[in-house]
Structure 1
Amino acid sequence: MKIISWNLRHSRGAEIGHIQALVHEHRPDLLLMQEVTAEIDGAAERFGGYYARCALPGRKHGLAAWSPHPFHRPTQNLALQRGLIVRRICQLLEFDGYTIANVHLSHGQMLNRLQLRRIAAVLSPRAAILGDCNMVGAPFLPGFQDVGGRQPTHRSVGLFPLRLDRCFVRGLRCLGAEVLAPGASDHHPLLVSLER
């Protein structure tokens, strides 16, 4: 299963045309997006497939998933521990025998690890967590392997390049991982191939 995760950088970043170009070039089985606004909701009508978005509580942007194949079940949301400003959720996608979690975690380095543990506790034994983890260093997530690309995925003004976008797996095998060109966002898309 080929999965791409990309933080679009809401209101100033990637637009639906950029997403369509990414899908056309890499043909993922699943595209997970963070910082997605309602402007992206026409994705399925524009280039086919299936799409589900959930806004963060009290925000215009949130998490979304697109696939050329129907989702096995409707996506679900999991409330996470609240940060100082933003209330966070996780988007859960159930497949036949495994679960994928789409995340945009808090910036606090202790809080985002607690959020990861909450997510891990509800996932099936075979699972993957992908997205913008806002995490520097080891995740300290028992049972999961960090299999995403090792190159920096985010470049912000005045900061060193950081590897914030991650993929953690449990009970699945990673066949390859690659950090793609950033395009219109300040985040690079992360491409991983997982054996189902």
Structure 2
Amino acid sequence: MKLISWNLLRLTGASLDDVARLIEREEPDILLMQEATVAMDGLPLRVGGDFRRTLLPNRIHGLAVWTPGKLARPPRIVTLPSGAMFDRIGQVVDLGAVSVANVHLSHGQLLNRRQLRCIARELPHHAVIVGDYNLVGPALLPGFRDVGPREPTHIAGDVVPLRIDRCLVRGIGCLGARALLREASDHRPILVNLDVMHARRPMMEPARAAG
């Protein structure tokens, strides 16, 4: 399963055209987005597939998922421990073989680890937690392995390189990972190839033909 995660940088970052070009170029099985705005709702008209977006509480942006085929069921929303400024949620996508949690965690280094533990409790054994962790150092999440790219994925203040876009897995293997080239956003997309060949259920329903 080819998975891509990208923080789009809400209004001033990646556009609908940028995201469509990424899909056409990389052909992912699933694309997770953070800071996705209403502008991304036009994605199915550009590239087809299934698109689901959920706003963060009291924000103009949120979490979104795109898949080339129709999801068997809508993503499940998990409420995470809140910070002093913003409430946070996780978007859990059931792909049959594995559940994928899309996250945009808080900046507090104790709080974002609490949020990770919270969403991990909501997931089955075969699970992925991916997105913008805003996390420095190890995740310290028992049972999960960090399989994301090792190179920096974000430049804080255009000065300090940080690896804050992460991918943790439990119960599945990883065949490789890399950070893609930086485009319009201040985050680089991350690409992870996951081994889900042990799956007994289909990942998603086949897409219906248009018309």
Q: Which residue of 1 aligns with 2:103?
A: 103
Alpha carbons of structure 1 residues 193 and 135: separation in structure 2 relative to 1, 3 Å: same
**CA distance in structure 2 between the partners assigned to 1:139 and 1:47 by the alignment:** 34
Quick one: which amino acid aligns to residue 139 of structure 1?
A: A
Q: Which residue of 1 aligns with 2:123?
A: 123
Q: How does 1:155-170 map to 2 (within 5 A)?
A: 155-157=155-157, 159-170=159-170
Q: Which residue of 2 aligns with 1:44?
A: 44
SS of 2:162's equivalent in the other structure is: coil
Unmatched 5+ stretches in structure 1: none
Large movers: runs of 4+ above 3 Å = none
SS of 2:155's equivalent in the other structure is: coil
Q: Which residue of 2 aligns with 1:58?
A: 58
**CA distance in structure 2 between the partners assigned to 1:188 and 1:101 by the alignment:** 19
Q: Which residue of 1 aligns with 2:135?
A: 135
Provide the TM-score with structure 2 as the length reference: 0.91
Q: Which residue of 1 aligns with 2:145?
A: 145
Of 182-191 and 71-80, the range deviating more from structure 2: 71-80
Shift of 1:158: 5.2
SS of 2:135's equivalent in the other structure is: coil
Shift of 1:45: 1.3
SS of 2:52's equivalent in the other structure is: strand
1:32 equivalent in alignment to 2:65: no
Could you say which structure has the larger radius of gyration? 2
Shift of 1:132: 0.1
Q: Which residue of 1 aligns with 2:93?
A: 93
Alpha carbons of structure 1 residues 175 and 158: separation in structure 2 relative to 1, 3 Å: closer
Q: Which residue of 1 aligns with 2:20?
A: 20
Unmatched 5+ stretches in structure 2: 197-211
Q: How does 1:179-190 map to 2 (within 5 A)?
A: 179-190=179-190
Q: Which residue of 1 aligns with 2:200?
A: none
How many aligned positions are there? 196
Shift of 1:95: 1.6
Quick one: which amino acid aligns to residue 38 of structure 1?
A: V
**CA distance in structure 2 between the partners assigned to 1:135 and 1:186 by the alignment:** 16
Deviations 1:33-80 (A, max 9, x none): 000000111101121111000000011100000010111211111010
Shift of 1:155: 0.9
Shift of 1:15: 0.4
Identity of aligned residues (%): 50
SS of 2:161's equivalent in the other structure is: coil
> Aligned-residue CA RMSD in angstroms?
0.8
Provide the TM-score with structure 1 as the length reference: 0.98
Q: Which residue of 1 aligns with 2:177?
A: 177
**CA distance in structure 1 between the partners assigned to 2:14 and 2:107 by the alignment:** 21
Quick one: which amino acid aligns to residue 103 of structure 1?
A: V
Deviations 1:128-187 (A, max 9, x none): 000000000000100000000000000132541000000000001000101001100000
Quick one: which amino acid aligns to residue 144 of structure 1?
A: F
SS of 1:41's equivalent in the other structure is: helix
**CA distance in structure 1 between the partners assigned to 2:66 and 2:160 by the alignment:** 31
